[in-house]
Chains A and B, each alone.
Chain A
Amino acid sequence: MSSLKFETAIPDLPGFHADAVLGNSFFEVLIEPRDLRRLRASLMNVARIVAGKGGRRGLLILDEPTITEDRLSLEWEALQSFVRPEVLDHLAMIIHRDSQDIIFGKLLPAEAENLEEVIQHERQQSFKKTRRPTEAFFDILRVLLIHWVRKSGPLTSKELSKETGFTYPTIANALEKLDPYLRRHSDRRVEISSFPRDAWFKLVAQSENVRETRAYAAHSIKPRSPEALLARLRELGRSDIAIGGIVGARHYLPGLDLAGTPRLDLIMHSKRPGGEKEILRRLDPALKPAERGEPPQVVIHSIYRPVSFFEKDGKEMPYADEIECLLDLHEARLESQALEFLDKVTPQTKP
Chain B
Amino acid sequence: MSQISPFTVLAEVSSAVPAACRENIVVIGSLAAGYHFFGNDPSKAVRTKDVDCVLAPFHAAVGAGQTITRQLLDEGWQRRTEGDHQSLGNETTPVDQLPAVRLYPPGVDPDSEKAWFLELLTVPESPEDHGRKWTRLPLAEGHFGLPTFRVLSITAFNPLPAGELGISYARPEMMALANLLEHPEIKPERMSGLFAGRAIKRSNKDLGRVLAIATLADLDDYRPWATAWRDALKACFPDEWQTLALRAGAGLRALMASQSDFEEAHHTCLNGLLASQSPSQDSLFAAGERLLVDAVETLEDSIPS
A residues with CB within 8 A of B: 218-222, 224-225, 228, 232, 281-282, 284-286
Please, what's the 1-or-0 string for B261-305, where 1 marks a CB less than 8 Å from any CB in chain A? 000000000000000000010110111011011000000000000
Contact A221 B220, CB 8 Å, known A281-B293, A282-B293, A285-B292: no
Which B221-237 residues sit within 8 Å CB-CB of chain A?
A: 221
- Check if B221 sits within 8 Å of A228, measured CB to CB: yes
The interface residues of chain B lying within 8 Å CB-to-CB of A284 are 290
Most chain A Cβ neighbours within 10 Å, of B221, B289, B292: B289
- Check if A286 sits within 8 Å of B286, measured CB to CB: yes
- Check if A285 sits within 8 Å of B289, measured CB to CB: yes
Contact A285 B280, CB 8 Å, known A218-B286, A221-B287: no
Which partner residue on chain A sits nearest B293 by CB separation?
A: A285
A285 to B293, CA, bound (A): 7
Q: List 8 A-B contacts (CB under 8 A).
A: A218-B286, A219-B282, A220-B285, A221-B287, A224-B220, A225-B220, A281-B293, A285-B289
Contact A285 B290, CB 8 Å, known A222-B218, A228-B220, A228-B221: yes
Instruction: Provide the main secondary structure of the chain A interface.
Output: loop
- Check if B221 sits within 8 Å of A286, measured CB to CB: no
Name the distance in Å between A260's Cβ and chain B's nearest Cβ: 16
Shortest 6 CB-CB contacts between residues of A and residues of B: A220-B282, A285-B289, A286-B286, A221-B286, A220-B283, A228-B220
> With A218-B286, A220-B282, A221-B283 given, can you name 20 additional A-B contacts, CB distance below 8 Å?
A219-B282, A220-B280, A220-B283, A221-B282, A221-B287, A222-B218, A224-B220, A225-B220, A232-B221, A281-B293, A282-B293, A284-B290, A285-B286, A285-B289, A285-B290, A285-B292, A285-B293, A286-B286, A286-B289, A286-B290
Name the distance in Å between B265's Cβ and chain A's nearest Cβ: 16
A228 to B283, CA, bound (A): 19
The interface residues of chain B lying within 8 Å CB-to-CB of A228 are 220-221
The interface residues of chain B lying within 8 Å CB-to-CB of A218 are 286
The interface residues of chain A lying within 8 Å CB-to-CB of B289 are 285-286
A286 to B218, CA, bound (A): 13
The interface residues of chain A lying within 8 Å CB-to-CB of B293 are 281-282, 285
A282 to B220, CA, bound (A): 12
Name the distance in Å between B208's Cβ and chain A's nearest Cβ: 16
Name the distance in Å between A237's Cβ and chain B's nearest Cβ: 15
The interface residues of chain A lying within 8 Å CB-to-CB of B286 are 218, 220-221, 285-286
A222 to B131, CA, bound (A): 39
Most chain B Cβ neighbours within 10 Å, of A218, A221, A282: A221
The interface residues of chain A lying within 8 Å CB-to-CB of B221 are 228, 232
The interface residues of chain A lying within 8 Å CB-to-CB of B282 are 219-221
A23 to B289, CA, bound (A): 48
The interface residues of chain A lying within 8 Å CB-to-CB of B285 are 220
Name the distance in Å between B254's Cβ and chain A's nearest Cβ: 17
Which partner residue on chain B sits nearest A220 by CB separation?
A: B282
Which partner residue on chain B sits nearest A99 by CB separation?
A: B301
The interface residues of chain B lying within 8 Å CB-to-CB of A225 are 220
Name the distance in Å between B38's Cβ and chain A's nearest Cβ: 17
Most chain A Cβ neighbours within 10 Å, of B218, B280, B292, B293: B293
Please, what's the 1-or-0 string for B189-227, where 1 marks a CB less than 8 Å from any CB in chain A? 000000000000000000000000000001011000000
Which partner residue on chain B sits nearest A229 by CB separation?
A: B220
Name the distance in Å between A268's Cβ and chain B's nearest Cβ: 20
A237 to B184, CA, bound (A): 33
A47 to B218, CA, bound (A): 54
The interface residues of chain B lying within 8 Å CB-to-CB of A222 are 218
A218 to B287, CA, bound (A): 11
Name the distance in Å between B279's Cβ and chain A's nearest Cβ: 8
Name the distance in Å between B267's Cβ and chain A's nearest Cβ: 18
A61 to B268, CA, bound (A): 49
A335 to B287, CA, bound (A): 35
Name the distance in Å between A227's Cβ and chain B's nearest Cβ: 9
Name the distance in Å between A76's Cβ and chain B's nearest Cβ: 20
A219 to B283, CA, bound (A): 8
Which partner residue on chain B sits nearest A221 by CB separation?
A: B286
The interface residues of chain B lying within 8 Å CB-to-CB of A224 are 220
Name the distance in Å between B296's Cβ and chain A's nearest Cβ: 11
Most chain A Cβ neighbours within 10 Å, of B220, B290, B292: B220
Which partner residue on chain B sits nearest A227 by CB separation?
A: B220
The interface residues of chain B lying within 8 Å CB-to-CB of A282 are 293
Name the distance in Å between B3's Cβ and chain A's nearest Cβ: 26
A222 to B218, CA, bound (A): 8
A285 to B221, CA, bound (A): 12
Name the distance in Å between B220's Cβ and chain A's nearest Cβ: 4
Name the distance in Å between B162's Cβ and chain A's nearest Cβ: 28
The interface residues of chain A lying within 8 Å CB-to-CB of B280 are 220
Name the distance in Å between B225's Cβ and chain A's nearest Cβ: 15
Name the distance in Å between A132's Cβ and chain B's nearest Cβ: 34
A228 to B221, CA, bound (A): 8
Name the distance in Å between B70's Cβ and chain A's nearest Cβ: 48
Which partner residue on chain B sits nearest A282 by CB separation?
A: B293
Name the distance in Å between B37's Cβ and chain A's nearest Cβ: 15
The interface residues of chain A lying within 8 Å CB-to-CB of B290 are 221, 284-286
A225 to B292, CA, bound (A): 19
A285 to B280, CA, bound (A): 17
A218 to B289, CA, bound (A): 12
